[in-house]
Structure 1
Amino acid sequence: MLDVRRLALLAAVLDSGSMTAAAEQLGYSPSAVSQQLRRLEKEAGQPLLQRQARGVLPTEAGAVLAGHARHVLRRLEAAEADLAELAGLRRGTLAIGTFPTIASALMPRVVSRFRRQYPDIRLDVRSARHDELIAMLESGRVGISLLWDYAWDRVDPGQFSLTPLLDDPTVLVVADDHRLARRRSVTMAELADEDWIVRAHDHPVAEVLERSCRAAGFSPRIAFEANDYQEAQAMVSVGVGVALAPRTAVSAPRPDVRVLGLGREAPSRRVLLAHRPDRLRAPAELAMHQMLVDVAREYQTQP
């Protein structure tokens, strides 16, 4: 195996015309350069230089090897430049996980801001269900991901490094002609006689509804199971029932529904930013992390 450092010495000697000049250029002594080149000749198995009174000339093998050496050195310089660009947030790809309600509420402004500041970083944003996001984090398919949890089912802090981004309160969605539509907030006790629209397939908001109603002293009467929050809003709008939803899920509500506050009447969820603690974090990931923290803070304080 040829030594790259000795190849660099060979190229430097031939480019400068002498061992003395190469030694001065590289900060070696002439004897050290001569010794390293003799080792390179032994590695190559043949003479590489013709030593003359006023310098050195390459043998045929030396000229061939010096050409390869220059090519290798150029590629190493290119690799160093690429790494410098990555470190300087000038190139690369950042894969980030998110989930639909946050993807619609926060991610557009995050992506827009990130692209303005770091136009050469390609964003790979992947929206998925909670268990899929966990799997993507574990496998490294995404470096960071937005997650959520409730008090009774927390994300394991021993599995990921977690940064709380915002508290996402539960709100009530009613039709615009509902008896409570002109209110800004209500209590769960006022909703004991309502029909309810809930998310299907054991969605966590069904657990939120069950816990909230039980705390208010009644059991919810389920009228419809929706597959997503848009479908839930549509059924609410025509009077099938009322629904609970995280605030971020109705950040852009239909014009024929109203969103009412519940205060502490219903549990809220945490929105978290997660990454694996054993990963080396790239500068682009750290920049995105801070941007998500900043945008979440802005969102939390808006009316």
Structure 2
Amino acid sequence: MIDVRRILVLRAVVTSGSVTAAAAHLGYTPSAVSQQVAVLEKEVGMVLLERVGRGVRPTAAGRLLTQHSAIISQDIAEAERALADLRDGRTGKLAIRYFTSVGPTLVAPALTRLRREHPGVRIDLKLIEPDPLPEVERGDADLAIVVGPRDHNRQGLRLVHLLDDEYLVALPAGHPFAGQRVLDLADLAGESWVGSEPPGPCLDVMLQACAAAGFSPDFAARSEDYATAQGFVAAGLGVALIPRLGVTDRRGGVVLRAVRRPEPVRTIYAAVRESDSAQSALSTLLQALAEASRQPA
């Protein structure tokens, strides 16, 4: 296979008319330039330069390669410009994966800033439940918003902490505990429960907190979205744990109270590949997500 770099050295020799002039232009020694041309001649199996007085001129094979080198140089320049545009966030595409409750509070405001600062970047936005992290690991997505992976040392991934989202207990408005501001989680051990989470890391957080309080919740009804769970609670089917980001739209007939001992919390991260995190548009998106996470829900 012909080495493109040696073709470009040959072009410098042909356009300058001598090995010495080409060496000065390239910042090489004349002997290094002569070596590169000699190796290239071995690669193609043909003589590429012939001496004329104190200089050199290309043979037919040398002229042919020099003509193609102009095309190669143009392609390399175009590739460099395209890479610079991608690096600086003027072009390209960002594939973003998220889960439902971070959509309105984190993703939407972050995308507003991304579109303003990088209008040439296309956005591929997709809802993935319950765990979008594998999309980033496979290279199918550039960024995923995830709930605290158990293994934080994922090779090749960078996890950026966004916020800790505490769970609240949703009670029917007429519940005996509705008048208390804070409840011990163990106080709810004998209640009927409404499931608010699909299987996955968020449900694990809730079940682990209940286990730490000494009980396993008795589910009378299950839902995989927070609005439906609140509806079931309002109907008196049970109590539910719902993260604060999941109760931005509060339903009538439901009261929300803090819980403790322990306080269930899900930790939310943005996950990106280490190799991509320097891209300007992706860096802007990470900054915008961090900014949105600091705003009150």
Equivalent position SS for 2:151: coil
| Aligned residue-pair number | 291
After TM superposition, the structure 1 stretch with the greater mean CA deviation from structure 2, 240-249 or 30-39, is 30-39
Q: Measured at CA, do residues 84 and 220 of structure 1 come closer, stay the same or move farther in structure 2, by a change above 3 Å?
A: closer
Q: Measured at CA, do residues 266 and 171 of structure 1 come closer, stay the same or move farther in structure 2, by a change above 3 Å?
A: farther
Task: Specify the alignment match of 2:59 in structure 1.
Answer: 59
Task: Specify the alignment match of 1:145 in structure 2.
Answer: 144
Q: What is the aligned counterpart of 2:256 among 254, 260, 265? A: 260
Equivalent position SS for 1:101: helix
1:225 positional shift = 2.1
The CA RMSD over aligned residues, in Å, is 4.0
After TM superposition, the structure 1 stretch with the greater mean CA deviation from structure 2, 178-187 or 79-88, is 178-187
TM-score w.r.t. structure 2 length? Answer: 0.74
Equivalent position SS for 2:132: helix
Instruction: Give ranges in structure 2 of 5+ residues lacking alignment.
Output: none
What is the 5 A alignment of 1:19-34?
19-30=19-30, 33-34=33-34
Q: 2-side partners of 1:249 and 1:261: how far apart?
A: 14
Task: Specify the alignment match of 1:185 in structure 2.
Answer: 181
What is the 5 A alignment of 1:160-239?
162-173=159-170, 178=174, 185=181, 187=183, 196-199=193-196, 205=203, 208=206, 215=213, 222-238=219-235
Q: Measured at CA, do residues 232 and 206 of structure 1 come closer, stay the same or move farther in structure 2, by a change above 3 Å?
A: farther
Q: 2-side partners of 1:110 and 1:41: how far apart?
A: 56
| Aligned partner letter, 2:40 | L
| Aligned partner letter, 2:181 | S
What is the 5 A alignment of 1:1-303?
1-30=1-30, 33-34=33-34, 36-53=36-53, 56-130=56-130, 132-149=131-148, 155-159=150-154, 162-173=159-170, 178=174, 185=181, 187=183, 196-199=193-196, 205=203, 208=206, 215=213, 222-238=219-235, 240-254=237-251, 256-264=252-260, 267-273=263-269, 275=271, 279-284=274-279, 285-296=282-293, 298-299=294-295, 302=296
Equivalent position SS for 1:106: helix
1:74 positional shift = 2.0
Equivalent position SS for 1:46: coil
Equivalent position SS for 1:112: helix
1:247 positional shift = 0.8
Q: 1-side partners of 2:197 and 2:38: how far apart?
A: 77
Q: 1-side partners of 2:208 and 2:25: how far apart?
A: 77
Q: 2-side partners of 1:201 and 1:33: how far apart?
A: 66
Identity of aligned residues (%): 35
1:265 positional shift = 6.1
Contact 2:133 2:145 in 1 (8 A): no
Equivalent position SS for 1:283: coil
| Aligned partner letter, 2:150 | V
1:112 positional shift = 1.7
Instruction: Give ranges in structure 1 of 5+ residues lacking alignment.
Output: none
Please give the per-residue CA displacement for 1:189-237, whole angstroms capped at 9, x wherever unaligned: 887897543237667559737965995x998675432232222233345
Q: 2-side partners of 1:6 and 1:65: how far apart?
A: 10
Equivalent position SS for 1:120: coil
Q: 2-side partners of 1:171 and 1:44: how far apart?
A: 73
Q: 2-side partners of 1:142 and 1:86: how far apart?
A: 16
Q: Measured at CA, do residues 138 and 23 of structure 1 come closer, stay the same or move farther in structure 2, by a change above 3 Å?
A: closer
1:245 positional shift = 0.8
| Aligned partner letter, 2:146 | L
